[in-house]
Amino acid sequence: MSSGAVYGYAYVGPLICIWTVLMTTLHYIYDPFCGWCYAAAPLVAAARSVPHVNIALHGGGMLAGANRRTITADWREHVMPHDKRIAQLTGQPFGEAYFDGLLRDIGAVMDSEQPIAAILAAEEISGLGLDMLEAAQEAHYVKGLRIADPAVLAGLATTLGIEALAFREAFDRFVGAATHAHIGETRARLANLGGRGFPTFALENTDGQLEPVDIGVWLGHADEWREFLLARSAEINQANLDASASVPPGGQG
């Protein structure tokens, strides 16, 4: 079975060659309040185990700005059939604290900006953006916590081993304009991809273009998804190596 890694020599000067390990980037457009992003969480975990595949997170702000919402009885009726379908299809857990706690907490705010800012902060401090997303999803869907609450997010950061003061400073810096800009860039990327919502995945190919990947067929099939990523990333890496190969005149690569 292929590891997905492609190794090659890079020519940097006379008589000097260095080994290079090529990486494939999997772009992931998500929202912390998106139920189908939670459904895709096992696929994200599988992708993290694929050697030499880097995951780039792009928060879409599904419930940010004018789209922020509060919990209502209508919201509960709207999301519960989807949540039950997700649980059936993927085995993802939904806690009683979510179904009978948070979804009955009328008036609780759902605002994507705060958890996205926390994810950006965790990534900047410790490279733990994906871990913060996972923690926020578990907090919301299993523990029934208000993940738009900065205090809840700070607690999640602590459980990830992020120093409290460093997180607070980074979070305060990201929340607001920086997160708005990030969301704007994500939405532009989504539009360019022709994406219809969250989650959207795309692999960056040889010429830097993004090729969308429909994950619907892999929901609930993380092992098969991992095999696909192993094979496709190896193809992309090999094409990148072939395109960038440089052999000096009269020399050896």
Q: What is the mean pLDDT of residues 19-44?
A: 91
Q: Alpha-carbon dihedral of residues 90, 45, 98, 89, nearest 10 degrees?
A: -10
Q: Say whether pLDDT at 4 is over 70.
A: no
Tell me how many helices (H) and strands (E) the chain has.
10, 8
Mean pLDDT, all residues of the chain: 90
- Provide the pLDDT confidence category of residue 238 given band limits of 50, 70 and 90: confident
Q: Is the pLDDT of residue 17 over 60?
A: no
Q: Which tens digit of pLDDT belongs to each residue from 130-141?
A: 999 999 999 999
Give which of 156, 120, 162 is closest to 138, Cα–Cα: 156
> What's the pLDDT score for residue 237?
84
| Residues 6+ away with beta carbon under 8 Å from 219 | 39, 40, 43, 89, 90
Question: Residue 253 — pLDDT band, cuts 50, 70, 90?
Answer: very low
Q: What confidence score (pLDDT) does residue 206 get?
A: 73
Q: Is 163 helix (H, G, I), strand (E, B) or coil?
A: coil
Domains located in the chain, CATH noted: 7-244 (3.40.30.10)
Tens of pLDDT along 208-225? 889 999 999 999 999 999
pLDDT given for residue 245 in this prediction: 64
What is the gyration radius of the CA atoms in the chain, in angstroms? 20
Distance, in Å, from the CA atom of 21 to the CA atom of 177, rounded to the nearest integer, reads 36
pLDDT band at 23 (very low <50, low <70, confident <90, very high): confident
